[in-house]
């Protein structure tokens, strides 16, 4: 699998994911589960939207 999520992008995704999860917990809503998506893409280093829809990459390392 090719990586297409760079370091800065990964950090931003984790922060956004944690914020969405925290809001979901605060509001006692299942919508907070959506915060797992950016965290998962950050951990794997691959984003399907970047690959298929945008055809771009924020990763400098070819992998």
Q: What is the pLDDT of residues 19-48, one digit of tens each?
A: 999 999 999 999 899 999 999 999 988 777
Reduced to 3 states, what is the DSSP secondary structure of residue 56?
coil
Q: Specify the pTM.
A: 0.80
Question: What's the CA gap between 63 and 26, in Å, rounded?
Answer: 38
Is the CB of residue 3 less than 8 Å from the CB of residue 46?
yes
Question: At 11, is the pLDDT very low, low, confident or very high (cuts 50, 70, 90)?
Answer: very high
């Amino acid at each position: 699998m090719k990586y297409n999520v760079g370091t800065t992008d990964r950090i931003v995704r984790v922060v956004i994911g944690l914020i969405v999860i925290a809001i979901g917990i605060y509001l006692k809503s299942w919508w907070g589960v959506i915060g797992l998506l950016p965290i998962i893409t950050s951990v794997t280093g691959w984003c399907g939207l970047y690959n298929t829809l945008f055809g771009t990459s924020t990763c400098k390392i070819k992998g």
